[in-house]
Amino acid sequence: MTQTVGGGTAALRAVMAGPVIDPSDPGYDAARAVWNGDIDRRPTLIARCGSAEDVAAAVRFAQAEGLEIAVRGGGHSMSGQSVVDDGLVIDLSGMCQVSVDPEAMRARVGGGALLKDLDGATQEHGLAVPLGAIGHTGVGGLTLGGGMGWLTRQAGLTIDNLVSVEIVPADGRIVRASATEHPDLFWAVRGGGGNFGVVTEFEFRLHAVGPMIDFGLMFWGEEQAGDALRAIREVVPALPRSLNVIITVMTAPPAPFVPEQHHFRPGIGLLLAGFGDTEEHTSALARVRAALPPLFDHVTPMPYVALQQMLDESNAAGAHYYEKSTYVDDLTDGVVDALVDHLGRRTSPMSIVFIYRLDQAFCEMDELGTAFGGTRSPQYAIFGIAASPTPDLLPADREWSRSLWAALQPHSRGVGTYVNAMTEYEEHRVRAAYGSKYERLKRVKAAHDPRNVFHRNINIVPG
């Protein structure tokens, strides 16, 4: 075994320029660790690629050696799809370069860049790509599944702003896909996940954002939770397009802006960001405050990059995580009751529910124009995230997350889900997420990866 690994390492080193890491390397444990501390896998080799040519060499090498492939962008897959026992990890973390063309309003981004790499580079020009809300997430996995965050109401999902990709499919070629080159492949990578090859470069359209934005947080305690959610649901659908919210079921952190008597108090949080007129932000906060005064609030201007990294620490790598998500049309009484009931049933104070609002620009995109797993009508995406600092607390809150999902089901849009938020692969839910797009995805998969070489993802079996 050791000999095979040693021989494999040398053979792979011979065909690629970037470093190749095997179990004998002192950096092996750090290189195989992924964001979810609940995942512990031991790959045979880790190919830390530095270029599309390295990726192509690694893809060909793995197939020649019969090694299962895992592709690692930011390593944030909840289920640890980006690391594999006894296989080859194609690690893109070295490919995190970002180049911005402010005239053309375009950014080119390496397949292993993190959101904070991209935000940092684009904000130097007062520009941004709509991304997710946590800076250490990978652009790769987030984009390929859709990408929702603070700018979704203003500018759509991340994939709605994707102009082209450079991709290495299973045959090891390096190809570009866009609206005019390999359009089927370009359609499929916008929502169909990592099924079709390794994306070595993303090209995005940019929007003027920041550099300063308005931020507000309001918090209500457990006893006000139902009323708070009902007040929020009245205000959110009428918000101007320049504002967006994240609604949370959470524990108040011991942060400087939280009055000490409320530290560690369970409740409902409303995070409201404003990207336009400060007046609009102020009056939206006033409307919520008038409906139900919060226990405390915190309103401040902040740089857009700070907003994008505000939740980084509370979602740090290495803790133990599980999540289950669903889409609902509205925060109906049934949804509110399920959320309030589960607020007090968490074991770990780190466990949290995130609710994203999807409307405005999100709904203006052609529903069949991308492979996104979901419809484009106004809705909320609800994520029940179990999180614990130690493995022993996770099983209880994993059940809490599943129980919340089950309680929301009668009020949800069905079993379909945002594919980027699936910890367990449930085929019927993947089919439901893609709906009528599923058969087309299978055909594109058959054309570009007929032997299902790239299957460590929300897998579409070639059809």
Count CA within 13 A, CB hemisphere, residue 2. 2
Which residue is nearest to ligand FAD, using beta carbons?
141
In Å, what is the CA distance from 391 to each residue of 31, 161, 198, 348, 388? 21, 38, 32, 11, 7
Q: Which is nearer to ligand FAD, 135 or 274 (CB)?
A: 135
Collect contacts of 116-122 with beta carbons under 8 A, ≥24 apart: 116/305, 116/308, 116/309, 116/312, 118/204, 119/304, 119/305, 119/308, 120/305, 122/98, 122/206
Task: Determine the Cα–Cα distance for residues 20 and 392; give it in Å rounded to an integer.
Answer: 34
Q: How far is the CB of 456 from ligand FAD (least distance, A)?
A: 6
Q: Which is nearer to ligand FAD, 224 or 244 (CB)?
A: 244
Which position has the token pair 């995942």? Answer: 39
Q: How far is the CB of 260 from ligand FAD (least distance, A)?
A: 28
Q: Tell me: does residue 199 bind ligand FAD (CB under 6 A).
A: yes
Among 130, 149, 156, 274, binds ligand FAD (CB under 6 A): 149
Q: Tell me: does residue 271 bind ligand FAD (CB under 6 A).
A: no
Q: Tell me: does residue 210 bind ligand FAD (CB under 6 A).
A: no
Q: Tell me: does residue 134 bind ligand FAD (CB under 6 A).
A: yes
Among 46, 133, 268, 353, binds ligand FAD (CB under 6 A): 133
Query: How much of the chain is helix, strand and coil, in % rounded to 5?
Result: 35, 25, 40
Among 18, 37, 87, 141, binds ligand FAD (CB under 6 A): 141
Q: How far is the CB of 311 from ligand FAD (least distance, A)?
A: 8
In Å, what is the CA distance from 276 to each residue of 9, 102, 282, 301? 53, 20, 11, 12
Among 43, 145, 192, 269, binds ligand FAD (CB under 6 A): 145
Q: Tell me: does residue 48 bind ligand FAD (CB under 6 A).
A: no
Q: Which is nearer to ligand FAD, 199 or 328 (CB)?
A: 199
- 68, 87 contact by CB (below 8 A): yes
Task: Determine the Cα–Cα distance for residues 172 and 57; give it in Å rounded to an integer.
Answer: 7
Q: Where are the beta strands (DSSP E) in 305-363?
A: 320-328, 352-358
Reading the block at residue 52, the tokens are 């599309």
Q: Which is nearer to ligand FAD, 133 or 232 (CB)?
A: 133
| Residues of span 443-462 touching ligand FAD by CB under 6 A | 456-457
Among 142, 225, 407, 441, binds ligand FAD (CB under 6 A): 142
Task: Determine the Cα–Cα distance for residues 188 and 437; give it in Å rounded to an integer.
Answer: 9
Q: Which is nearer to ligand FAD, 92 or 252 (CB)?
A: 92
- 389, 319 contact by CB (below 8 A): yes
| Residues of span 321-360 touching ligand FAD by CB under 6 A | none
- Phi and psi torsions of 323, nearest 5°: -150, 155
Q: Tell me: does residue 267 bind ligand FAD (CB under 6 A).
A: no
Q: Tell me: does residue 420 bind ligand FAD (CB under 6 A).
A: yes
| Residues of span 65-104 touching ligand FAD by CB under 6 A | 71-78, 81-82, 92
User: Strand, helix or coil at 265?
Assistant: coil
| Residues of span 288-317 touching ligand FAD by CB under 6 A | 315
Q: Provide the residue type at 247 as one letter.
A: I
Q: How far is the CB of 104 from ligand FAD (least distance, A)?
A: 23
Q: Which is nearer to ligand FAD, 93 or 242 (CB)?
A: 93
For 45-82, letters b (16+ CB in 10 Å) and e give: bbbbbbbbbbbbbbbbbbbebebbbbbbbbbbbbbbbb
* Binding site residues, ligand FAD, CB under 6 A: 35, 71-78, 81-82, 92, 111, 132-134, 137-138, 140-142, 144-149, 194, 198-199, 315, 420-421, 456-457
